[in-house]
Amino acid sequence: MLTIPRATTIEHYMSSTRNPAPNDVMSQPIGGEKPGAEVQLEKKGEINALQRYRYQKWQQNTIDSDPKFSCILLDTEEDLREIAQEELSIKNGCAAPGGNPTERLRSLNIKFWLLSLKWWYCRSNLDDFELRAFKLWRLNPRWYMHRALVEECIGRQGCCARACGCCQKREISPGRSLGVGHCTLKCACCQKSRGFEVSTMDKKQLKDQFQSCVKGPSHRVTRYRQVSIWGLVGDSEEDPSNMIDAPPSYDQVKKCKC
Ligand SMILES: [Zn+2]
Ligand SMILES: [Zn+2]
Ligand SMILES: [Zn+2]
């Protein structure tokens, strides 16, 4: 049987046997704590280096660099954009004829709400390094006008491929801030420019293509995720915010000259 020396108080006994000393407690890392190197980069304000550091730590931490939650997050954002753009079409009287607009708006509102929850669950499941990088990058409300994402829109024949400037000036209400970004198949301006309706089967095929684009593995996936989540592109050490509304890249200029 355990005997406590008479001179020892219960408090002293408890602290000496079960609880580490206060200093030891503070030195034990808990989930979400930043390593010293990260804190230093934050203090220096070197955003590109900070995001790269977080990217590398995320790659080391993640089992097989499993990008599951960020992939679903990006796919969900595409769905949210689609709804926001369809709502705009209906409100501006540009929607395809047929159907009841009020009823359609009501069902889109429910869908948007459900997808917002899905987005939040995915965001909450990001690894700590990835989450901190994501939060920092998305602090900039114009993150989606990063040069690389504009190029993506051009490649997908969105409004950035024309002179209309819809992606820059699309009027997304504060309640639809999760739906900001480039054109989807529901962009009214793109629909008008195409001059034809994309069939349900083709829409599904394009959606599948987008999903495989964000789920990978491929170089395209890596680039798309890197810039959408982290604001990073492989050919630049610039602060990601300086690449927003930046002049066209070499690739783009070359394409225009062809
Ligand atoms: Zn468009
Ligand atoms: Zn447009
Ligand atoms: Zn665009």
Alpha-carbon distance of 241 to 253, in angstroms, equals 21
Residue 46 buriedness (CB in 10 A; 0-12 / 13-18 / 19+)? middle
Residue whose C-alpha is closest to residue 142's, from 170, 175, 113: 170
Q: Is 220 exposed, middle or buried (0-12, 13-18, 19+ CB in 10 A)?
A: middle
CA 201 to the chain's CA centroid: 27
Question: Tens digit of pLDDT per residue, the chain (258 long)?
Answer: 444 444 444 455 445 445 556 667 777 667 778 888 999 999 999 999 999 999 999 888 766 555 678 888 999 999 999 999 999 999 988 877 778 899 999 999 999 999 999 999 999 999 899 999 999 999 999 999 999 999 999 999 999 999 899 999 998 888 999 999 999 999 999 999 999 888 999 989 888 877 776 666 667 777 888 999 999 998 788 888 888 886 655 555 455 443
Distance 175 CA to ligand 1 centre (A): 21
Q: How far apart are CA 78 and CA 180, in angstroms?
A: 9
pTM of the entire predicted model: 0.81
What is 138-166 written as a DSSP string? HTSTTGGGBHHHHHHHHHTT-GGGSSS-H
Could you give the C-alpha distances from 104 to 45, 83, 183, 231, in angstroms and in order? Answer: 46, 11, 20, 35
Q: Are 69 and 122 in contact (CB under 8 A)?
A: yes
Q: Tell me, in angstroms, the distance from the centre of ligand 1 to residue 106's CA.
A: 23
Ion ligand 2 neighbours, Cβ < 5 Å: 159, 164, 166, 189
Residue ranges of alpha helices (H) inside 62-165 are 68-91, 101-124, 128-138, 147-155
Angle 162-138-216 from CA coordinates, rounded to 5°: 70
Span from the CA of 167 to the centroid of ligand 2 (angstroms): 7
d(CA 117, CA 197): 30
Question: Identity (one letter) of the amino acid at 141?
Answer: P
Nearest ligand to the C-alpha of residue 145?
3
Q: How far is CA 182 from the centre of its chain?
A: 13
Which bound ligand lies closest to the C-alpha atom of 187? 1
Domain ranges of the chain: 66-232+243-257
* pLDDT of amino acid 18: 54
How much is the pLDDT for 93?
85
Who surrounds ion ligand 1 at CB < 5 A? Answer: 158-159, 166, 183, 187, 189-190
